Homo-oligomer: A and B are copies of this chain.
Amino acid sequence: MAEKKGFIRKTKQREVILNVLRSTRTHPTADWVYQEVRKEMPNVSLGTIYRNLKTLTEMGEALELSYGSTYSRFDGHADNHYHFVCEECGDVTDLELPVQDSLENSVGDSIGAEITHHRLEFYGICNHCRAKK
């Protein structure tokens, strides 16, 4: 069940987690973040990582990306942008493609819903994996 909190406190842990998230352009898993944060705070627990990743996502400071049924990846750069996902190695790359916010209006109008954001992802084989074959 979702806890209801009246306010959110600043904590060293969340700060470090956000810094770690922002320090990379890869799209790390919770465990990768955990390993990184541990270098600076050897006692953090995985639970804290998950709780803060969730909080940061709700705060709009991070994005949770889900592909397939394994684990989630997180993105500390929350300004909308599109991704390319390699179906071979699972790598996620940011794309330069301009974001088309106008799409949100037309979709919102057509189904009468309030659109908060959209995601566009491309799937395929990255050139690194193609070279291996």
Q: Residue of B at shortest CB range from A93?
A: B111
| Cβ contact of A115, chosen from B67, B107, B108, B122, cutoff 8 A | B122
When all copies of this chain in the complex are counted, the total is 2
| Cβ contact of A113, chosen from B103, B117, B119, B127, cutoff 8 A | B127
B69 adjacent to A67 (CB under 8 Å): no
Interface residue? A44 (CB, 8 A)? no
Which residues of A line the B interface, CB within 8 A? Answer: 64, 66-69, 71-72, 84, 86-87, 93, 95-97, 103-104, 106-108, 110-127, 130
A-B contacts, 6 of them at CB < 8 A, read A66-B68, A69-B71, A97-B106, A113-B126, A117-B122, A119-B120
